[in-house]
Structure 1
Amino acid sequence: MSQGMQKNIELRFTRNNAFLSTATGLLPTLQYRCVEPLNVVETVCDANLPLGWKTLPLAPATSLGQRLLGPGEEIIVDFGTHCVGYFGLRCEAVGSPPDAPAHLKFTFGETPVEVAESFENYTGWLSSSWLQQEDLYLDVLPAEVRLPRRYCCRYVKIQVISTSPKFSLRLRDLHLNTVTSASSEPAMLMHSSCPLLEKIDRVSLLTLKNCMQEVFEDGPKRDRRLWLGDLRLQALVNYQTFGQNDLVKRCLYLFAAVTREDGLVSANLFMKPDIIADDTFLLDYSLFFVATLEDYIDVTHDLQTLHELWPTAWRQIELALERIGSNGIVRDSEDWWAFIDWHESLNKQAPSQGVFIYCLKKALRLAERVADKQSQQIIVSEITRLKKAAMKELWNEEKGFFTSGSQLQISYASQVWLVLAGVGDALFRASLMRRLLAEPPEIKMNTPYMMHHFIDALLSVGQKECAIEEIKKYWGSMVKNGADTFWELYDPSHPEFSPYGSKLINSYCHAWSCTPAYFIRKYQL
């Protein structure tokens, strides 16, 4: 996720050096592996595919040593799967001694569209510097080249922009030195007899693996940051797969170490050149610090971490309570105050009410573990108050759905989050999820992030078979359309959707989309 809004250079932050020291001590060892391309390919327009392009093999990549390239010529190599790493090759001059530099242009694509469509036509509102490309001038040939930046790709397009007419270029030893902090491979599925679910599980694992770097990155292409909403979901998958729980612990300490002056946790952190909290604050993301900590403690029983980070978790609850109106409902506003989903028309009030109740329940479990009686009493009282208010103020008996905001909007997100919050009894929630499936609201879901919570809500009311079918339909559709890793955004009815104004800038390996592996393994789907 990227957002350029809500900037305030006057914000003041605090730094907890003890927490930063703990996080530094948990820095993972990066694992490297050299991989070579499989084929030279060409891109072909295909209107039947979501992104409009596919690749066809032309020759094995081993044939590159016999091919000469001159100005205006290009090749595209295919590594066969999604990779994150550092690209290198050997470039040689053939013909007369090179009497001018060789100018090469490299373009890296997670999908065929990124090496098929020109970046010159990019019209998105995120910076074009996120587009993966690099110009290289070689003054001396032959040259062993290792591009300094880390790239995220399956495809690499190499264009010869210019050489002297007296020589051509031969490219050899193309490779990617891939990198991840995932130190082992999870066990294969033992219970599944569904080939599609097995494929979805493998794609989920590669998605998470390629986002596991020095922290759980939201996406190795963009933003390469630690976002709290992504971290929460990555951690859930990690517990069922890679089991690198110290990486979760490291990320929790990082968030707790650099907070706003009043203790509010930022929505995301920058890792370089130092740990910096972004000046973006979202109600749901700050509350997810509580949920992520509780999930971690539930798995690890790490009481020392619990006692050290409980004050930070409790502070998120205190600050969120300040946003509750006299009617017991989260106050709505027009600014970017909560995320919930990438949907420009989505009203966030009702789903945020659900998120708050959900996280209050997580906070209660933490408070019980640390024997904080006072906080327990406050939490129990607030859960009761907020649930009653949701039924009184947000439930619309005539429409049969929860509504949100002054326009009484009906959305998937509102129903899903209030079901996950446990508003209403079990029969009420199960009936609501059945109605949601039968009568889809106009305000739908745009991201795998929101789809995760939809699946979670289905499972919470016992609709396991329906959850399986929804996973197959949604994530399975991405697999059938050639996804090596799961995408940041996917709307089957509008596959080119981008909240950033261009599909070229979308992330096609994104942390929040890896959660089918969590459901498949935890619930033995």
Structure 2
Amino acid sequence: MNKCFFMALSLALFSLNVSAQCYTESQQQTWLQKAEASKPVLNKTTHHPVREVKIVADANAFQGFKAVEDGDINDLYSKSFKKKKEVIVDFGKHLVGNVSFKIKDIGPMQDAVLRFKVTFGEIPSDLGLPVEPYTGSLSRGWMQDFQCDVSYDGCYTFNRRITARYMKIEAVGTSIYSDFCFDNITFEATTSAGKSKAQLASTTPQIFKDIARVSENTLKDCMQGVFEDGPKRDQRLWMGDLYLEALANTASFKEYNLTKRCLYLLAGLANPDNGLLYSNMVEYPKPHAQQTFFVDYALSYILTLNDYLKATGDTETARDLWPVVKNQINTILAKAIDNNHLYANTGYQYKGMMVSIVFFDWAPVTLDNHAAIQGLLAHSIDCAYNIAKVIGKTDDVKAYPATAKQLRKAGYKAYWDAKKQIVVSGKERQESYTATSWAVLGDLIKGNEAQKAIRNVMQSNTAIKPGTPYANHFLVAAMLHCGMNSEAKKYVEDYWGGMVRLGADTFWEYYVPDNHLFSSYNGYTLLNSYCHAWSCTPIYFIVNYPEIFQK
């Protein structure tokens, strides 16, 4: 996810004058210790290529390329590769882990270092599209293309974790005096997921069985030492992705200790002075945070803890982390809500450049997020109050129900266009799927008006559509929230099913049905992640709404 633009800016979201720390060093160290105690053991499985393929252009395939079987995989282990020079192998499924290969002599012994160029791809276009000239807005280092020098022992192990299904090997430096073939190519895949607990009814339509399978594959490959956003890129824990991963996990693998670990890690690395949570963290060499703040992500932490509490009944963890919940809500209410009870701080001026601190989506057009954050804040206050009720802390937040009511009343007045029966946001009265989704989920609008709002925005020629599965998740959730069950079913089938029909074995970071090459990384599609956590949630819908998706 291209949040690195924000990471480059060490921003303080709200400047606070604090006389004492919100969290003590001892408190945060205890949280980090509890996170470490919940660290999973990675499950490992060994995989080998199942076939040789070639990547061919196909206008009907996703991004214009497909893989077709080509050659005999057994030849790789018996015939001269010096003559063959190049091969693309298919492991048969998307994998995350460690890759190694070994060559063996054919005839005279190896008498020189051999040089290979190896490129990995999650999908066929990763190997079909040219890497150069590199025009991406993120580090060139994310690209999975390597120069490999193989010495006399014939062995090579890649020095970083690989995320791929396809592996292209090119011989670029061989000896005229010796020859070789491959002895083995091994992909040792890792995940902290166990066996899925999800059981679908026999009446479930095949397309939803397929969507559920790909959802679980996506989540599984993102479940490493933390819930990662993307195992190829960014390889870190983002709070927005965490919420959706936790939802999908409760419906499938039920690895609740991983959710617990992530909640404690984020709390242990929070800003101790103002209490705010940093938007993301990296696990190695030791857990550390990128010191940036996304308001909607800070609020999503509350949603995650609330879901975790409902799923596990773990009141001890909820009590531990209750100060973190309060600090997110109270700080935002104090610093970003105006006298009209509207969220009024969706942008931050930094060196003459407007930087969004409310994310929600990488839409094809810049979103106005006033209506969306208004709805999310009201919903988050409800979730915080629910946590308080379960752990006996309602005295801390007596004003929350009244505050949420004020936010909803103000949001309805400001963002509901009763004449057009549509949600609008900001001074330009922008129409978008995301603003509508959160106006519904936050109960700024309800009932028939909520249904009309969704139907009208989807019929609008000017409304901004989502750019990511992340935003599309909340659209489906909004449909279900207001009783648009058949529309929600069709949307999941069309959107996530669209990826399945295009050959996805894990769901993608971006999917814009009418623009398969969409990327927020300066248009450089090869930087896109094709196994991304925020796309994994159809399994949550399919399991939790069986009367809709399993019949």
Could you state the TM-score of these two structures normalised by the residue count of structure 1?
Answer: 0.96
Greater CA drift, 7-16 or 290-299? 7-16
Question: Is it true that 1:138 corresponds to 2:182 in the alignment?
Answer: no
| 1:341-490 paired onto structure 2 within 5 Å | 341-343=361-363, 344-439=365-460, 441-490=462-511
Q: State the partner residue of 1:219.
A: 230
SS at match of 2:245: helix
Q: Which residue of 2 aligns with 1:26?
A: 38
2:3 counterpart residue number: 3
What is the correspondence of 1:262-273 to structure 2 with a 5 Å cutoff?
Answer: 262-273=274-285
Query: Structure 1 vs Structure 2: percent identity of aligned residues?
Result: 35
Instruction: Give the Cα separation in 2 of the matches to 1:471 and 1:290.
Output: 26
1:250 aligns with 2:261: yes
Deviates more, 1:264-273 or 1:335-344: 335-344
1:61 aligned to which of 46, 54, 73 = 73
* Structure 2 counterpart of 1:3, one-letter code: K
Q: Is the 8 A contact 2:148 2:156 kept in 1?
A: no
Equivalent-residue separation in structure 2 for 1:282 and 1:191 (angstroms):
42
SS of 1:161's equivalent in the other structure is strand
SS in 1 for 2:132: helix
| CA apart distance, 1:126 | 0.8
Instruction: String of CA shifts for 1:354-397, please: whole Å, max 9, x gaps.
Output: 11111111011012223333443221121111111111222222
| 2:301 aligned partner | 289
Q: Tell whether the 8 Å contact from 1:395 to 1:401 is kept in structure 2 after alignment.
A: yes
Answer whether contact 1:72 1:162 (CA < 8 A) is retained. Answer: no
Other-structure match for 2:524: 502
TM-aligned CA distance change 1:187 to 1:287, over 3 Å: closer
Given the superposition, is the C-alpha separation of residues 348 and 425 from structure 1 closer, same or farther in structure 2, using an over 3 Å criterion?
closer
Q: In the aligned structure 2, how far is the partner of 1:97 from the partner of 1:195?
A: 53
Q: Deviations over 1:450-472 (max 9, x none)?
A: 11001101111111111111111
Q: 1:163 to 1:411 in 2, by over 3 A?
A: same
Aligned-partner SS, 1:86: strand
Contact preservation (8 Å) 1:412, 1:441: no
TM-superposition CA deviations, 1:375-433 (whole Å, max 9, x none)? 43221121111111111222222332221122111111111101000113322212322
Matched, 1:73 2:85: yes
Structure 1: gaps (5+ residues)? none
Going from structure 1 to structure 2, the CA distance change for 1:72 and 1:36 (only over 3 Å counts) comes to: closer
Q: Which residue does 2:341 correspond to in 1?
A: 328
| Paired AA for residue 332 in structure 2 | A
The answer to whether structure 1 residue 231 and structure 2 residue 253 are counterparts is no
Separation (CA, whole Å) in 2 of partners of 1:502 and 1:59:
31
Offset at 1:139?
2.4
Instruction: Work out the CA distance in 1 between the residues paired with 2:461 and 2:477.
Output: 17
1:415 aligned counterpart, secondary structure: helix
Q: Does residue 147 in structure 1 map to residue 158 in structure 2?
A: yes
Q: Is the 8 A contact 1:455 1:467 kept in 2?
A: yes
Q: 91, 105, 114: which one pairs with 2:103?
A: 91
2:508 and 2:529 in contact (8 A); partners too: yes
Larger displacement relative to structure 2 (248-257 or 80-89) = 80-89
- Local SS of the residue matching 2:431: coil
Pair 367,171 (structure 1): closer, same or farther in 2 beyond 3 Å = same
SS at match of 2:99: strand
Deviations 1:307-361 (A, max 9, x none): 1101101100011112111221111324221110102421111111111111111
For residues 290 and 192 of structure 1, the distance between their equivalents in structure 2, rounded to whole angstroms, comes to 35
Unaligned runs of 5+ in 2: 13-20, 348-353
> Which sits farther off after the overlay, 468-477 or 14-23?
14-23
1:91 and 1:171 in contact (8 A); partners too = yes
Most deviating of 57-66 and 514-523: 57-66
SS at match of 2:454: helix
**Residue type of the alignment partner of 2:410:** A
The answer for the alignment partner of 1:122 in structure 2 is: 134
Higher mean displacement: 255-264 or 67-76: 67-76
Of 506, 520, 523, the match for 2:542:
520
Instruction: Find 2:317's aligned residue among 305, 312, 335.
Output: 305
Deviations 1:273-301 (A, max 9, x none): 11111122101000111111111001111
Q: What is the aligned counterpart of 2:183 among 159, 162, 172?
A: 172
**Residues 16-25 or 99-108, more deviating:** 99-108
Distance of 1:170 and 1:485 partners within structure 2: 32
SS in 1 for 2:95: strand
Measure the CA separation in 1 of the matches of 2:30 and 2:445: 43
Contact 1:77 1:157 in 2 (8 A): yes
Structure 2 CA distance, aligned partners of 1:280 and 1:376? 27
**Contact 1:445/1:451, CA 8 A, preserved across alignment:** yes
Per the alignment, in what secondary structure is the counterpart of residue 350 of structure 1? helix
**Superimposed CA distance per residue, residues 101-158 of structure 1 (whole angstroms, 9 cap, x where no aligned partner):** 10012111000111223322331111110011221112214x2332231101100001
Deviation at 1:14, TM superposition (A): 7.5
> 2:306·2:383 contact (CA, 8 Å) conserved in 1?
yes
Alignment check: 8 A CA contact 2:44 2:189 kept:
yes
1:95 Cα deviation from its structure 2 partner: 4.2
Determine if contact 1:240/1:518 at 8 Å carries over to the other structure: yes
Alignment equivalent of 1:103, drawn from 102, 105, 115: 115
> Relative to 1, partners in 2 of residues 1:100 and 1:118: Cα closer, same or farther, differing over 3 Å?
farther
Cα deviation 1:475-519 (Å, max 9, x = unaligned): 111001010100000000111100012110100000010101110
Secondary structure class of the residue paired with 2:92 = strand
Equivalent pair of 2:120/2:164 in contact (CA under 8 Å): yes
Q: AA paired with 2:519?
A: S
Moved more, 82-91 or 392-401: 392-401
Q: What is the DSSP-based 3-state SS (H/G/I as helix, E as strand, rest coil) of the residue aligned with 1:125?
A: coil
Distance 1:451 1:506 in 2: 17
1:63 Cα deviation (Å)? 2.6
**Offset at residue 441 of structure 1 (A):** 4.3
Q: C-alpha separation between the residues in 2 aligned to 1:39 and 1:23?
A: 41
Can you list the C-alpha shifts for 1:76-121, whole angstroms capped at 9, x where unaligned? 0001111111112211233444332100121110001112233223
**For 2:342 and 2:441, how far apart are their aligned partners in 1?**
17
> 1:192 and 1:215, CA in 2 relative to 1: closer, same or farther beyond 3 A?
farther
The more displaced of 220-229 and 188-197 is: 188-197
Alpha-carbon distance between aligned partners in 2 of 1:413 and 1:441, rounded to the nearest angstrom:
13
SS at match of 2:477: helix
Whether the 8 Å CA contact 2:433–2:454 is kept in 1: the answer is no
Does the Cα contact within 8 Å between 2:11 and 2:291 map onto a contact in 1?
no
> What code does the residue aligned with 1:511 have?
A
More deviation in 327-336 or 457-466?
327-336
Structure 1 71/139 Cα, relative in aligned 2: closer, same or farther at 3 Å?
farther
What letter is aligned with 2:498? S
